Structure 1
């Protein structure tokens, strides 16, 4: 690329403004590192008059973001609009079709249309870069595609959503229930007014689908990611986990097995002495298991203006240097369709919380159901004792196939002495 690289930014929210600030603050440093003078020449946003804390003087303004792709004064297009379809996708398609590199922070777009966009990028010899789409300021895409290129990856997992991690951390530290802590997170700006994508696990699942593709050389397969959020995690579960020597974290786990690839996002109980259990607040963490490096861990801020904009600028520097890596690590035609293992086939230990009336024979009935499903109980604890009133019974199982446990809990839920739907949380061995 030439020594004068011209950039167009579509989307002037937190991240777009952050990119402008970094380029302004570190222009000389970036030129020394990239060998090119980086200049923003054109922008597109919703409101031309909004104060973004950085000057837009002298920049060409586009009301139609897609028009950035056709501007001869734009060498690299930044898609920072968001959303899996619409203008964001149209801009990427037009830019790549024009042979222009695209940098995006849009995990939803890549999870839904990454295979199509990667093929288009290869067809037109244009880079599609997205370090900022997964784990914010943590350079995990570069680590997987480049730093760990000499390894066969068996597993990648991590805390991929800062909002959920903040909520679970606060529930542990304060003893508060989910709804109250979520409201606090919204008041502090850590959670959106509509937090569904975060707390229901969709945001983490988008990121996990991308990580699995890069880690295992398989097409992005978001529809086959099992997704379970944190809405049903109770303060009692947090307290029980602590007593048992665990913490609860929402993890995204992608694992290669003999049967295929597991892709799952759900609350997990993890030992308190593990790296991932000690990542708290809004921080993200990713752990990768490779055959020659063993375990490598990456921790940092997963969102926000600075970390995300930093990752965007890193991609710009790579493009300016002429580094050209296939979008998901290997060319599209070399990817392998590996079967996806359904969560029902998962084998592991489980925490189970039953809410039942304190009556004679309850534990015997529960034990009989578990026996019939060949489920072995490692430990059992009854919370409280009040005759004819509801109490909590906490069970920890030995390893069992999930389908068997789900069948057992379905039977237990129908007992006349069951008060509420049983809760289960997977215990993950890390």
Structure 2
């Protein structure tokens, strides 16, 4: 019998079940998946869900398989609508689907990354099944998105925590997690940049079939689910701002399956249709092409976490719009602006200035943990999972000086 690990199961190997729900988290997890698969002490199980299984979002489960990973299970959970009610129903479907999947796979540990509702569903099913959970990228803040509450809830259900920076480690402990179970390992995305072979501008242009002759802006924008403006109103402010840079080509990446995402997607598609030859949209570039696109861009504009984590490591300016990423640690390469046309235009002008671009090349990157994937795998290899299931709350009042 074999699985996503590509190797036969043995009595002394432990089954690590990794859940991925989108192109974004798969790109971050890819080097860790390779690391887990190559180690004899682990049997990798891989479950795809969410946007991976949707044609609307590029059916990116096919990319996982092209990369040589076997997908042990597919959990369908997305509904056609992206209303708040539909998202809630999707979570319910996901819990039911993951309950069956985890009962069949019987992993020794569930490993998840991030804060999306698909992952929230998987973790709840694992919690009720008494399966230990390891969580990557906990302790962060995104004050303009419902993901913030989801992330903290996942941390409370998890048993091992792999965070990207020291402030995040302290915050997870503040949530009551045992300090010896919280590890600051840096960001997988920063490690991926160091280990990836990026495409030249010409290679990337040929790969996507769009001329990326300079200059161009890379735009990655998602709904601000707790924002004061309606998602489509905020998106119109961004698109109107981009009109102020007619000499720049615009490369859009796909919108997440969040509440309000479909309206933003429609607006972007309309913008591309009106600006043929100048603007283009790719639902999923994949990690190599996305990082390559970042590396050649004049600036990255939008509200994605990648603008705060991976983009600074490539010394490219980020214009971060609105409060979706409010509270995250950020490098000096990030320009925060409100979601208004004038503010966005001002932020882009600043990002394009020679002075700011030089400052980006000299900036300190806060999330470089070295060999992050290997560090995570080392902790897993050294940990007895089963005793983790019974958690004790770490009360700061009884442990002065810990933080």
> TM-score by structure 2 length?
0.37
Relative to total residues, which structure has the larger helix share, 1 or 2? Answer: 2
Task: Give TM-score scaled by structure 1 length.
Answer: 0.35
Instruction: Say which structure is richer in strand.
Output: 1
